[in-house]
Structure 1
């Protein structure tokens, strides 16, 4: 049966926030690369190949190198990582530094001990729990004290080197305490920022639901009423019939444009609820057909990876603006919305069979400039083109997948 202390330690490890864990692991990976290179360079400078611990120590260092490379790959590819990875690498860090001290002929006088400080600092950066950090530095300092006292040449009490040992251990605790406090302060700031963003997302979702339940329904009923009024006016004769029909038609067009614009915050709300981009765009295409009476096809290729909410929101805005341009300016009889996921990039396109692009389309309004800005914010580009006959328009957005996933 595990002891209460062991159970509590396990709970403390598992309670570490995943985002904090990944943030600390990124720091530890880069620090470990630097330390490993420095350690290997010093360890292999005029080495004692005959020492029985040389080969095992090199095997340990190379294993640590391989594990660090694998962890770096998992972080870079946005794969899940757990506290067990961090703990394993921290243990190997300490063992590698300790092995370097053991194989050294000078031991206590050897400067390898300074590598304990960044090793302990990376642990404190990954595990922000003060209890865990305190426990870990106690284990490491006890091991170093035993090594310094039991192995020759060790601490020379005749020249009061025990004071030097005491100072080194105190510095270990000081480094861990300082890094832990800084990490906890940054963690609090990150939590506050995340909470603010979550509150904004909740407000966006509530706003989209309110619009859907009130304004959108009212606009839809207004459109139906105008269509009915146009049918009634068309069935009557009179000198004001044409003028009345023209005004009703113009009002009806405005109501449809308004209903379509209202769909943007509603769709954005679905994005922040966690819906997949493909599902939201497919629904948006169906709504576009219902409102504008322009048949709209949607197709998706490839499997949608996990994208950040901000990336999905910007891509949704680009698609919405491109479809708005097709409705207002192209005179299209058909629109096609496509979304494709490749190995390293995402491609989204809105095509129509309308009149094509005017030469000064970039200067007309702010639609294209906004779409281009949104694409650049995602590290991608926006392209607009007509077919070979000069008719029809295709607006394409190409984004690197790692940027759409939030970056690493």
Structure 2
């Protein structure tokens, strides 16, 4: 117990809390000192870099266990749903099989490496089978190369998802759940209650999985209609990839909705705090909690970028590769054959579905960035309209943090995923399509 108290006092020294106000009376000074002490201990308790449990001896031997259980048993409906997805996605290796220290975690690493190795080998087997099937069918190299690129991108998306979840990024997954739990605690202190969005969640499920089931059923039927079972062998991996992409899309939509909702709440709470008729001490205390919450979200997004950045990057790469493959195949296919006509229709429909899903995902990531920009503008507007100097100082501090720590979701560090990403992707696709057309004309 004494060790835990020492931990509190060491952390308390890290914070610089404003001293008494210049014109405070003695009772007001006592109140201010009480607020300072409460704020200091609250900030020490939930500081990210040096959490209190490091100084406690009576916690579970796995110090992360408490945070994981708190996250999985969250009270808010959106966090509850995310916790269920976190558990369910373990069956697809897209979230950590085990976040505990010890043998279970090591076994999960070995298993994910084994599955990832199979995913890396599969493109070569798939393309070898495809070449063997189509050896008597003349086709230009512009048909084979995009297909090879697509199969490689499919495998890299799966491998990045499996390895990030169970091998390379387990510490970051722990940090994500810890930050979510700490943010939710502070939000409870601010009386945050999210609006239930059951209809929206149901719509997202229908939008994502019904087209996938329809396209997959049609694809399997077409392979059976062709009378060549090898076609399923060389395209079966794509079905698994698109299933995992659907799961990834739904997870990202729910996560981005949580982040956007909470950033918008921060903006409203900031306006409410500055304009409410209370003492400056109370306003300063609430603003300090808002700053701490913003810092927690910044750390959360940094860890999310490490965990989900690579799958997000390869998600976009898969869709771009599929567009190029569909275009190149349809340029050289004989649609007079019934089977080829079915495959052409399937490829076009699948491409349209994936383009829409990519646009939805990118705009969802863009909404998080927009909510952060709104908070920055609100801070500067409130700073200009506020009369109290202590409150103005806190608002300006939050404005500086919000300006420097804007919430940006990154695709493995290559680019930030926002609305401008769409134009860049479509420009790149059009450029590649022109190259394919020119190459086909040269071969002709």
TM-based fold match above 0.5: no
Tell me the TM-score normalized by structure 1. Answer: 0.27
**Which structure is richer in relative contact order (CA contacts within 8 A, separation 6 or more)?**
2
Higher strand proportion, which one? 1
Higher helix proportion, which one? 2
Which structure has the larger Rg over C-alpha atoms?
A: 1
